[in-house]
Amino acid sequence: MRWLRHFFAPSAHAAFPETSLDRIAHAIADGERLHSGQVMFAVESDLPLALLWKNTSPRARAEHAFALLRTWDTEANNGVLIYLLLADHAIEIVADRGLQARVDSAQWQLICDHLREQLSGNTREEAVLAAVAEVSQLLSQHFPPDPEGRSRNELPDRPQVFG
């Protein structure tokens, strides 16, 4: 069944057209004014055949995207990736090690649950915008903005689309 879902998966570009990606990028940039963390969003239509054959989990793929996009590459180790795998209806949040001692997995799971609920009732864009806002609010509690108002945008705000 999973093979069929991946073969007939909706296009990530159709699910998130350029205008949606622009609004998500602006929401990420706006959210990063509230904290000194870094937020990234990535969406993937389906897995490549070799990864399906290996039965790669959405979590493993999200962790790979986290590494590939260098979300870990921040001075304070406070990058967060929100990842969607459309074919599996999977939502994953991968947080860097600087957040692991500060934010427990239940808090990330709550954001995933909210995103899943939003995806069932709203547009994909609105759902992701709400998730970005939640992640930004959580980061603001643990990594406040620079007191001198300097913004260090260490990672691109532009969403990453695979497939």
Residue 162 in any domain: the answer is: no
Residue 157 in any domain: the answer is: no
- Structurally, the chain folds into a number of domains equal to 1
Residue 40 in any domain: the answer is: yes
- pTM of this prediction? 0.95
As to burial, measured by CB atoms within 10 angstroms (0-12 exposed, 13-18 middle, 19+ buried), residue 107 is: middle
Residue 129 in any domain: the answer is: yes
For 99-107, the CB contacts below 8 A with 24+ separation are 99/37, 99/139, 99/142, 102/142, 103/138, 103/142, 107/138
pLDDT digits (tens, 9 = 90+) for 143-152: 998 777 666 7
Judge whether 88 and 51 are in contact, CB under 8 Å: no
pLDDT digits (tens, 9 = 90+) for 32-83: 999 999 999 999 999 999 999 999 999 999 999 999 999 999 989 999 999 9
- Is the predicted pLDDT of residue 122 greater than 90, yes or no? no
Query: Residue 15 is part of a domain; what is its CATH number?
Result: 3.10.310.50
The domain in which residue 43 lies consists of 2-147
